[in-house]
Amino acid sequence: MEADDNIPATFASPACFMHEVDPRYTGLPGPLDRQAWTDVDRWRRSERERLIAARLAVPAEMRARQSEAIAAGIVAEIGDVRGRIVSAYWPFRGEPDLRPLLAEIAKRGGRTALPVVVEKGRPLEFHLWQAGDPLSRGVWNIPIPAERNRVLPDIVLSPVVGYDAACYRLGYGGGFFDRTLAAMPARPRVIGLGYSAARLQTIYPQLHDIPMDLIVTETGTVRPAPQAEVSTVRALT
């Protein structure tokens, strides 16, 4: 087109200032901290292995007692469950066994569900399941409800491999719970749970990590400490 001949040469879009943004907010590792994220990844991998091996080394009957104490802590936290949907999980690799709690919730008029891996890299689904309902094998052979009654739980019980004082959760490394919570239309109450021996100074949270509302262990309940910013605002008003 001839009119274009008079337009001075310019860029098709504004210059990109991405290089001036903290790389963590672009979702891309920048050259300076790529090494740091690699280190965190490597550290997470070895901590997962260490913590899973440590809990599997605890005698089964001690783990069973700890599971009971954790279940009691959860009951105290969730209160009246009538008409509510609580999701838990089918335990593996030494996780606390909350199956008796699921039965208790059903007895108290709540509904219970299990997480289902649809595909690696995708959010989990939650399908209704209660004691006695048939199970089938899902991805990684994890037992899942045989019938597909998809629900959105009000309360999600999320087993931790490790946790920290800010209630961040270290899981198995699939990113499933983070992806799931990020994709849910309404945020459920998220209760992390695990053994107190799984406590870490920090999990080095990354932008995708979503903290739990609280963590229940066999020795008590951990709530995130109030943020420094929040107390500053309070102090000013």
Ligand X SMILES: Nc1nc2c(c(=O)[nH]1)N(C=O)[C@@H](CNc1ccc(C(=O)N[C@@H](CCC(=O)O)C(=O)O)cc1)CN2
Chain residues that interact with ligand X, rule: CB under 6 A: 89-92, 95, 115, 117, 124, 140, 142, 159, 171-174, 176-177
Residue 43 interface partner, choices ligand X, ligand ATP, none, CB cut-off 5-8 Å depending on type: none
11-70 binders of ligand ATP (CB under 6 A): 44
> Whole-number minimum distance, CB 17 to ligand X, in Å?
36
Site string for ligand ATP, 130-169 (x = CB under 6 A): ---------------------------------------x
Number of residues that bind ligand ATP (CB under 6 A): 15
Cα–Cα dist 123/162, whole Å: 21
Nearest CB to ligand ATP, comparing residues 129 and 176: 176
Nearest CB to ligand X, comparing residues 90 and 129: 90
In contact, 65 and 208? CB cutoff 8 Å: no
> Whole-number minimum distance, CB 105 to ligand X, in Å?
17
CA distances to 153, 181, 210 from 84, in Å: 8, 18, 23
Residue 63 interface partner, choices ligand X, ligand ATP, none, CB cut-off 5-8 Å depending on type: none
Cα–Cα dist 101/155, whole Å: 13
Q: Which tokens go with 148?
A: 């597909």
Nearest Cα residue to 69 out of 100, 114, 112 = 100
Asked if 204 interacts with ligand ATP (CB under 6 A), we say no
Residues of this chain that interact with ligand ATP (CB under 6 A) are 44, 169-179, 182, 208-209
